[in-house]
Every structure is written in C-alpha cells, then in structure tokens.
Chain A
Amino acid sequence: MLNQVKAIFSSRRSTWPKRLYGHGDPIWTLLLIFGSLLVPLLILAVGWMLWNQSAAARAEFGWNFLLPTLDANWDPIASNFQAWPFVYGTLLTSVVAIALAVPMSVGVAIFLAELCPSWLRLPLNWMIELLAAIPSVVYGLWGIFVFLPNIVAPVGSLMSKTLGQIPGLAPLFAGPMPHSGVSRLGAAFILAIMIMPTITAVTRDVLLSIPNSQREASLALGSTQWEAIWKVLLPYGLSGILGAILLGLGRALGETMAVTMVIGNSITGKPSLLSPGYTMASVIANEFAEAVSELHSQVLIEIGLVLFFLTLALNVAARLLVWSVARRTLQEVRS
C-alpha cells in the first residue's frame, strides 16, 4: 500500500497531467484506498466517539458500577447508577442461549455437511439463512404472543418444579414462572433461536472445508460414520467451531430488540432465570432517548462502550480462530 501511495506521489512529479487525465489510475487507486480505509476508520471512530461521550460518566463512576452488588440501585433521577442487574441479565441470557444453541447448531451443521442428501441441502440451507434474515422485532413479536406463553412458560414452570427443588440450583431456577413466559429464560430461548443460524452456518462451512482424506482415513480404519465425525472431524475443526460459538456469543450479547420485548425490563433482586430481568442493550434501548440527565445518557453510553469492547474482542478472537482452520486446510492442500 505504501508503495502505491509513493507511486502516486512520484508520478505527480513526472507526468502529472497526463497521468491524471489521460490515464487516471492514481485517482482510481486513491478512491479504492479511501473506500477500504472507511471500514477500519469507522470502527475506530465508533470506539473513540463512545469513549469521548462517556468521559464524564467514567470520571464519576469508573467501571465499578458494573460490578456485582447486593443492593443494586438504578435511579436516574437521583443519579444512582448501579448496572449489575443489566450485566447479570446480559451474561446469564447469553450463556444460557449459547448452552441451548451450541448442541443444536453443531447437530444441524453435521447433518447439513455430512449426511444431508443433496436434493435437501439447498432448501435446508435456505431455511437456515432465512432464519438469520428475520428481523429482530418480528422474533420479539412472535416471542411475546406465541413462543413465550406456549413453550417457555410450561418449560419454565417444569424447571421450577424440578431443578428449582435441588438445593444448589434453587436460586437460579426459583419460581414462580410468569404465565406470560416473560423472563430471562424466555430471552435466552429467543436468543438461542436467533444465534443458531450463525453458529450453524460457520460450523457447516468449517466441516465442509475439512479435506475428504480425513474422513476416508477414519472410515478406512473401520470407524463408524459417527466416530469419524466425533473423533476426527470435530476435533479437526474445533478452533473454527469455537470461533463460531464466539460469534454467536457476540450476537447474543448485543442483541437488543427481541430481548427487550420478551425479558420484562425489570430490575428485580432475584437471580432466577425464571424471573423477568433486564439487559445492557435493553436498558440503552429503553432509556437513552428519554435520558433524564447528561450523566444518565453518559452512563448509558458507557454501557454501550462496554458492549462494544466485549463484542469487538469476541469477534476478533472468533475471526482469528475461523481463519486458522482455513489456513491449516490450505497448507495441507498445498503441501
């Protein structure tokens, strides 16, 4: 890139007018460079803006207001900002969503990559893609009126009756489960459905990128098809699949609208998965446009900054992992 820029400048000295009008390539190159600088610059700008706009809040509260407390108090009018309930809601719903989505997604990816008859592959891939394309608010609407009352509510009350009775797990599964299904569990379920296409698609691509010689090596040693998948293909693609999971986690952490619609948006002291809750993204969505004070909006931006850094880190890690599988495969093909 440096060379290209140098070339532009050196060409200016020598044949500037002819190059510019008769030829035009230096301008073209400059345009291309401008276009490709835009995205990295945008990411830097987002970070810088959020950092800047939350300066007062950071000066006032630092990062401690995100940490766990027992008497969480969020009162914008009194300038009491303790964000632990949001952080807890975000972490709990995302982790549960991942736990629900990962086995499912890996299973679907295995089916798509290894088993699916070819006539079924295209329609199924389409369906998974469509699942990813449905707008978040539509998930939320369907969640409120269909999924939560009919599926999540019964599942939740079953959980409170069974898991909730086990001493160690009781606080996490304490009832009662709301009949509407509005709860952290509901949000986790919706998130799981929403991130499943992402994890599935990446895992499927990872599996498809594994050289066929690996499958053959295992089968020729007398393995069953499942053993080939479980003991050879999944370990081979493990870092890529971890990357897929991190991508899904990033999605879940930042997902706003659907979660806001189904989680209940209430700050309860209860840690239970079956109670309504709140998340970092939801509190920004609900309160930012009507922030009561400069400090209030700054605190919300600071929460946004945390979300940004978290998802940034997850995405960078995820991409590096996915790339590493692709690169290894490439090396093997070359060697």
Chain B
Amino acid sequence: MTDVQPQLTVNQAALRARRKATSALMLSLTGVMTLLAVVPLLSIIGYVVYRGGKSLDLSFFTQLPKPLGMEGGGVLHALEGTIVMTTLAAIFATPPGILAAFYSAYHPNTPLGVALRFSTDVLSGVPSIVIGLFGYAVIVVPARHYSGLAGGAALAILMLPTIIRTAEEMLKMVPHSLREASLALGAPEWKTALSVVFPAALNGIITGFLLAVARAAGETAPLLFTALGNERYDVGMIIRNGVAQNQSVLQIIGRIVDQPVDSLPLTLWKYAQQPYPERIEQSWAIALVLMILVLALNIFARLWVESRKRRLQG
C-alpha cells in the first residue's frame, strides 16, 4: 500500500472561493424567489381590499341586483346561493367523509384503505369543471332542470378529499390508549369511535371542515352547469310566499334548493366579463367578500391547529 493518496492538485483556495460564491449566490437566489413568490399574494390582497372596499356597503349584502344603469343594488341572491349550496355540500360530504376517515385511520393497510387513500388523492386532482359535467349528467339531466341541489352535490364531491384527509390526520393523533381504555371497559367499537375518539379529534376535524368549506365557497367551475345562476334568487321571498300559501317546511326547503341558484364566485365571473364599470366594481367587492371568507377561515383553522399542537406537545 502506498503511503499517500493522489494529492488534490487543483488550486484549492481558488476553487473553494468559487464554490462558496456559487453557494452564497444560489442560496440567496432562493431567498429572492421566496420574496417574489409572496408578491402576488400581497398584490391580490391589496387590490381586492382597495378596489372592493370602495363599493362594499350594507346594501351589497341586503339587496338583489338592480337593472343596469340604476344606482345601488347588491348581490344578496349570490350570497344566499353560496350559503345554501355550501350548506348542502357540507351536509352531503361530511358524514361519508368522516366514516371514510375512520376507516382510513384504523385500517390504513387493508386493500380498501390503500384504495381509499389513493383515490382520495386522485379525486382532489380531478379538474372541478369535470366534476361540474358529472353533476350535470347525474342530476341535471334526469331532473331536467338546473338546481342548487345539483350545485351542492358537485361542491360536496370537491369537499370530500379535504374532509377525509384532515379528519384522518386528526383521528390518528388521538392517543391509542384512549381508544383501548374504552374498548377494555367493554364498549363496542362504534360507541368508542363516536363517544371517545371522535370528540377527542373534533377540534381538528372542524378545522378540516372549515378549510373544505372555504374551498367550496370559492369554486365556480362545478356550478356553471349545475346551479347555472339566477339573478332573482331570493330565499326571503320563497319563505314568505311559502308561509302565505301554508306550505310545509319540507316544501319550502324543496323550493329553496330545487331551482337554479346563484353564487358569489359565479356572479363575480359573470360581472367581471361585462363592459359596465359598476358591474366590475361589484365583482371586486365580491372578490373582497370571498377573500375575507377564505382568509378568515384559513387563518382561523391554522391558529386552531397550531394552538392544539402546542397543547399536545407542551
């Protein structure tokens, strides 16, 4: 064996200087990129607040649209539609979503568990416009008319992956000992799940639920051919008429959901493409409402998760 290895013949000091310069350059470049990446967010928030704030007032939330050329008017119809459809979507998506989450959390390695996780990931990647076509084919075509119900169902499909994934994470975080303690006392699995594990994970599940709601409330594409849009949608009027005609609660709910319905993002989309300045101002105002909704729900959900994490760790 020879005594010395081949020496590093290159001028090491110069090479090192060059390597370190490259490193410093590239690392600071990633910092610059991060700064740049945040710019669109700040710009969007800034413009939406600035331009939306100007035309946002109380009547915006309380009035139906007025014909073009008339002052004022609001987007009550869209606000109501968004509330109706997101509520429907939440009702459709939450129970099966949480059941699936329970399965996925407890049986992650069974074939069904793997298929579930995989298809949940895949479903979250299916374009929302395709989900819209699906809603059209499954509900609108058989019913022969567009409806809030169809819109809510389409939104429910989009909510499912978020609900399942966050609920699964949260259920997994519940200590195993808690579950075992209940089972050891002779409680059946379902009772343990619903009365011990579920409450322990509830906070986190609500967080995921809120994020899913925020996403659904901002969706447009799946509503284009399911809810379609309806400038005269007025829940108050439907209820007043229903009460006057002595309709049952179910009938009234039926009339609320079983007709074309508008939503905030749908209205934004329509208004933004019109050449009338007042419509464009209103679409900025809708953008502001949507952004407040999305930001508030997101920040709220994050804070919740963080505080909970801290409590679990500390």
Q: Which residues of A contact B (CB under 8 A)?
A: 1, 23-25, 27-29, 31-40, 42-43, 45-46, 49-50, 52-53, 103-104, 107-108, 110-112, 115-116, 122, 124, 126-131, 133-142, 144-147, 193, 196, 200, 224-227, 230, 247, 250-251, 253-257, 261, 281, 284-285, 288-289, 300-301, 304, 307-308, 311-312, 314-316, 318-319
Question: What residue in chain B is nearest A2 (Cβ atoms)?
Answer: B111
Determine if B246 is an interface residue (Cβ-Cβ < 8 Å). no
Determine if B98 is an interface residue (Cβ-Cβ < 8 Å). yes
Question: What residue in chain B is nearest A105 (Cβ atoms)?
Answer: B37
Chain A to chain B contacts (Cβ below 8 Å), 10 pairs: A1-B107, A33-B103, A35-B103, A50-B133, A115-B27, A134-B44, A142-B44, A224-B19, A251-B125, A319-B121
Determine if B122 is an interface residue (Cβ-Cβ < 8 Å). yes
Quick one: which of B122, B283, B291 contacts A43, CB cutoff 8 A?
A: B122
Complex: A165 Cα to B219 Cα, angstroms: 41
B residues in contact with A196, CB < 8 Å: 37
Complex: A108 Cα to B38 Cα, angstroms: 10
Complex: A301 Cα to B138 Cα, angstroms: 13
A-B interface, 9 closest residue pairs, ranked by CB to CB distance from nearest = A254-B127, A35-B99, A135-B218, A28-B190, A226-B23, A107-B33, A224-B23, A315-B125, A35-B100
Known: A110-B30, A140-B269. A134 touches B137 (CB 8 A): no
Q: Is the CB of B214 within 8 A of A133?
A: yes
Question: Which of these binds chain A: B195-203, B220-228, B251-259?
Answer: B220-228
Q: Is the CB of B126 within 8 A of A312?
A: yes
Complex: A225 Cα to B228 Cα, angstroms: 54
Instruction: Name the distance in Å between B139's Cβ and chain A's nearest Cβ.
Output: 11
Complex: A31 Cα to B189 Cα, angstroms: 12
Complex: A23 Cα to B193 Cα, angstroms: 13
Instruction: Name the distance in Å between A89's Cβ and chain B's nearest Cβ.
Output: 14
Instruction: Name the distance in Å between A150's Cβ and chain B's nearest Cβ.
Output: 10
Q: Is the CB of A307 within 8 A of B298?
A: no
Digit string of B113-140 for contact with A (CB within 8 Å is 1, else 0)? Answer: 1011011111101111111011011100
> Chain A binding site: helix, strand, loop or mixed by DSSP?
helix
Complex: A128 Cα to B30 Cα, angstroms: 15
Q: Which B143-185 residues have C-beta < 8 A from chain A?
A: 157, 160-161, 164
Interface size of B as a range: 35 or more
The tally of CB-CB contacts under 8 A between chains A and B is 270
B residues in contact with A110, CB < 8 Å: 30
Determine if B110 is an interface residue (Cβ-Cβ < 8 Å). yes
Determine if B314 is an interface residue (Cβ-Cβ < 8 Å). no
Q: Is the CB of A115 within 8 A of B129?
A: no
Known: A133-B294, A144-B272, A284-B129. A37 touches B112 (CB 8 A): yes
Quick one: which of A142, A200, A315, A316 contacts B37, CB cutoff 8 A?
A: A200
Q: Is the CB of A24 within 8 A of B127?
A: no
Determine if B208 is an interface residue (Cβ-Cβ < 8 Å). no
Q: Is the CB of B38 within 8 A of A127?
A: yes
Instruction: Name the distance in Å between A314's Cβ and chain B's nearest Cβ.
Output: 7
Determine if B68 is an interface residue (Cβ-Cβ < 8 Å). no
Instruction: Name the distance in Å between A259's Cβ and chain B's nearest Cβ.
Output: 10
Q: Is the CB of B99 within 8 A of A31?
A: yes
B residues in contact with A1, CB < 8 Å: 107, 110-112
Name the residue among B27, B113, B211, B217 with the largest chain A CB count within 10 angstroms: B27
Q: Is the CB of B295 within 8 A of A137?
A: no
Instruction: Name the distance in Å between B176's Cβ and chain A's nearest Cβ.
Output: 18
Quick one: which of A33, A131, A135 contacts B265, CB cutoff 8 A?
A: A135
Complex: A261 Cα to B287 Cα, angstroms: 14
Digit string of B52-86 for contact with A (CB within 8 Å is 1, else 0)? Answer: 00000000000000000000000000000000000
A residues in contact with B302, CB < 8 Å: 126, 129
Q: Which B259-314 residues have C-beta < 8 A from chain A?
A: 265, 268-269, 272-273, 280, 283-284, 287, 290-291, 294-295, 298-299, 302, 306
Known: A137-B218, A226-B23. A107 touches B193 (CB 8 A): no
Q: Is the CB of B138 within 8 A of A49?
A: yes
Determine if B248 is an interface residue (Cβ-Cβ < 8 Å). no
Q: Is the CB of A25 within 8 A of B131?
A: no
A residues in contact with B283, CB < 8 Å: 141
Question: What residue in chain A is nearest B141 (Cβ atoms)?
Answer: A53
A residues in contact with B131, CB < 8 Å: 46
Q: Is the CB of B100 within 8 A of A25?
A: no
Instruction: Name the distance in Å between B92's Cβ and chain A's nearest Cβ.
Output: 10
Q: Is the CB of A40 within 8 A of B119?
A: yes
Q: Is the CB of A224 within 8 A of B298?
A: no
Instruction: Name the distance in Å between A159's Cβ and chain B's nearest Cβ.
Output: 19
Q: Which B193-243 residues have C-beta < 8 A from chain A?
A: 193, 211, 214-215, 217-221, 224-225, 228
Complex: A1 Cα to B113 Cα, angstroms: 9
Q: Which B39-56 residues have C-beta < 8 A from chain A?
A: 40-41, 43-44, 47-48, 51
Name the residue among A53, A124, A135, A256 with the largest chain B CB count within 10 angstroms: A135
B residues in contact with A250, CB < 8 Å: 125
Instruction: Name the distance in Å between B102's Cβ and chain A's nearest Cβ.
Output: 5
Determine if B247 is an interface residue (Cβ-Cβ < 8 Å). no
Known: A138-B48, A254-B128, A315-B125. A39 touches B112 (CB 8 A): no
Instruction: Name the distance in Å between B119's Cβ and chain A's nearest Cβ.
Output: 4
Instruction: Name the distance in Å between B114's Cβ and chain A's nearest Cβ.
Output: 10
